[in-house]
Structure 1
Amino acid sequence: MGSKLKMKAPKKNRVLECDNQMSQAFGRAMKQSYKELQEMRDQAYNDGFDTGDNWATVVNTVTIMMALNKKHKFSTDRLLDVVHIANEYVRMANNGERSFMSMMEEIEEKTKIRFPEETKELVRRFGA
């Protein structure tokens, strides 16, 4: 009596035809590619942040210069003096000589200007 049930041939595992050195080299290349992708991602993020920061600086500088020229007829020399003084305050903040919060407090003490709490919280959060 013959059986109609037949056993299928076992599947052969597909093994890459390469030696151990090639496998290790491939693994190192994958790790290096991953590191390069992380560096590219970080660089793209930082470039985007720097671009946005530069854009904000340009917009703020141009609009303040336009307002000072229109309202108080600031000439070229006076406008450039304002920019240089503003840059000096930024340098002091970057060097830790003075904080933006202390500058805001000084403005509030010397003038009737009051900054919203959201703005103060933003400055506190970023520690500037």
Structure 2
Amino acid sequence: MKEPFFCYLLHCSNVEVSLASLASIHHDLTDDAQALRLGTRALGIFERTRSSNPFHIAELLNTLGLVKMNLGDLPESRHYFERALKIYSNKAPLGQSEKVQVEKNLECVLEMQQNTDKLQNYS
């Protein structure tokens, strides 16, 4: 009998990478509350150990940015996207396609923030 995918992830030597992968899966399944819990836990481990590949961290930051955007926390979403973008920018030319995607996500958040600000001005 084949093991479920999450069992494979838990055999990974880096728990933070497994948690980040699970966060991404939960985000894809639109379970953003669980994605946020797993992603924040993974980010805490990444930040404490500082031993992981920076692209794993940038990918997680992008996922957390998307989760926060879906949950309506635009300032926090923007913060995560800006952190991811900084990592990708420092590692050029590697990660260029990911960098472009994060830039698009950041533009979307900025546009949403402008629209929210306009609505608040009309209230």
Q: Same fold (TM over 0.5)?
A: no
Question: Greater Rg, structure 1 or structure 2?
Answer: 1
TM-score (norm 2): 0.28
TM-score (norm 1): 0.28
Relative contact order (alpha carbons < 8 A, sep ≥ 6): 1 or 2 greater?
A: 2
